[in-house]
A and B are shown apart, each in its own frame.
Chain A
Amino acid sequence: MVNELKVDPKLVEEFLNINKNIFEAPKLVRAPDEINMDMTPYDVAYSEDRVRLLHFRPTTERQIKTPLVIVYALINRYHILDIHPQKSWVRNLLNQGVDVYLVDWGTPTNADRYLGFDDYVNGYIDNCVDFVSKETGEEKVSIQGYCTGGTLATVYAALHPNRLRTLTLTAPVIDGQKDTTVVGNLAKHIDVDKLVDTIGNMPPEFMYFVFSVLKPFEQGLEKYVNFFKNIHDNDYVENFIRVEKWLSDTPPIPGELFRQWIKDVYQENLLIQSKMYVGGKQVSLKNINMPLFTQVAVADHLVSPESSMPIHYAVSSEDKSLQIYTTGHVGMIASSFSQKRVLPEFGQWLKERSNK
């Protein structure tokens, strides 16, 4: 007796097609190492230690005088803000006539393990703002902080409110106890003192682990199957490889900065209570009195909106807006949705509050 295995011929065909695509992939797709991640031209306006302040070249006539300094996150590099010509956060703002500067944190080494919040906020960010202010002749600048960069920008705004014309926070981590993501769950249970005292900097591998548990099946399996299915679609493939390369470039986080970050923001939740101290000064969120624009995403699986939104209610700014977008953490800054919805709103908001 012979067992007959019935398989739909279409299934066999699909299986064979994917196999064919896998073999053809190296001929059709550039290797990640062959891709230059810098898209929009810029000049390095200022540098200090490993930090660089990038000044993007204008693509159109400037419509507002007040420059915008983007404070990028501590996780991964700034390239996600300029990942693809049609999805570039930076390029869109340039096209709207905004003068764009961006803080690139570089890649810290073991020698940077003692860098803390004080160095980042009162040192690097303040020096960048100082430089931009001097170069443009504008007494006050606008700041936009993304993700953990949003937290740094919040602390900066609370300690140096007179330097800022406006503050925009895009998915900032503010109230660690309200964060319902896997990142928040792990951060609350990690022995950060032991980690920093033993290893020094937060190793990138730790972040890779966190990434791997975020959406393990969707991100770990499905997206690669889709990549091979769409191997002949140049735009899809180019975008995929660029995002993958960005994801795999995670610099370490300086030990002391990571220690205070985990303890004060997630474990003891001091920031939202205005009980955090940076450089010997209390970070009082009530000091934030400039126009504030908070942008959160409902499907954010890295920083939950519940963790970001409390900033809107904690500041003393009279002019403040809170926008909730139906997208995710990266979708809010690097997608067709962000080009059509998030960026036009942000550009308009900036224009209405900047020197012309």
Chain B
Amino acid sequence: MQASDSKKAQQYYKHVSLFWTDLLYLMMSKPYALAAAGPMRKFGTNMKKLTTELIDSNDDLVEFNSKLTEYYKQLTDTWAEAQKQFSKKIPEIPNDAEHLEASKRIWIDIFENYFTTLFDSPKFAENFGKLVASELELAKHWNSMISELLDNANLPTKDDINEIYKELHSLKKRIVRIEKDVNHGTVKRNGK
């Protein structure tokens, strides 16, 4: 119930925000056109994309927070369980310097055992996988917004650079192949 209310509120907020951005753009676009050659023109046009990206990232932020909460819950629950086990053991060990090392060893062994069991479990890995995935979704929004800003400033975006990297990679492969053909199947470059 609460989740659907918050979804509705979010949709409403998104609608209001887009409504005003669109309306202001329509109202402003004509006098705006006077400064058509400046860098602010593109920014004005693309402002809406930034707003949409920001609003959409809220959904992923909610998902990220829920996975992060689960992640810390798993850690604290495991800590509490391990501590309980240790507390049961500790009265059996005399409290003096000779037995300090033994107490420490027991503490480490118990905690190590509980936490390794957690990290080995599918429930931890599943949540961790989803936590990383939701973080990557946030990174995607961030990348899109940065790309938008770079594009406005007529600078290359991440996609533009990736395209160059890809081209570079394929060119290097072709060069090595040609070099091998020329040198009858052997490599000659030497780093000495």
Contact = CB atoms under 8 A, between A and B. Distances in A.
Interface of A: 8-11, 14, 43-49, 52-53, 110-111, 113-115, 119, 123, 127, 130-131, 134, 180-182, 185-186, 188-191, 194-195, 198-200, 213, 215-218, 221-222
A14 B97 contact: yes
B20 interface: no
Contacts of A218: 108, 112
Contacts, number: 111
Contacts of B64: none
A189 B128 contact: yes
Nearest to A301: B116
A194 B119 CA distance: 22
B115 interface: yes
Pairs of residues from A and B, 7 with the lowest C-beta to C-beta distance, nearest first: A47-B191, A10-B97, A189-B129, A114-B169, A189-B125, A44-B191, A127-B187
Contacts of B190: 45-47, 131
Contacts of B186: 130-131, 134
Contacts of A188: 125
Contacts of B140: 198
Given A115-B169, A180-B120, A189-B126, 15 more contacts: A8-B95, A9-B97, A45-B191, A48-B187, A111-B165, A113-B165, A114-B166, A123-B176, A186-B128, A191-B132, A194-B137, A213-B115, A216-B111, A217-B112, A222-B104
A180 B190 CA distance: 42
Contacts of B120: 180-182, 185
B30 interface: no
Interface in B92-112: 95-98, 100, 104, 107-108, 111-112
Interface of B: 95-98, 100, 104, 107-108, 111-112, 115-116, 119-122, 124-126, 128-129, 132-133, 136-137, 139-140, 143, 161-162, 165-166, 168-170, 172-173, 176, 185-187, 189-192
Contact of B133 (A10, A115, A191): A191
Nearest to B161: A110
Contacts of A195: 132, 136
A213 B169 CA distance: 35
Contacts of A131: 186-187, 190
A111 B112 CA distance: 40
B165 A217 contact: no
A49 B172 contact: yes
B189 A191 contact: no
15 contacts: A8-B96, A10-B96, A14-B97, A44-B192, A48-B187, A111-B168, A114-B169, A180-B120, A182-B116, A185-B122, A191-B129, A191-B133, A195-B132, A198-B143, A200-B162
Contacts of B166: 114
A215 B104 CA distance: 15
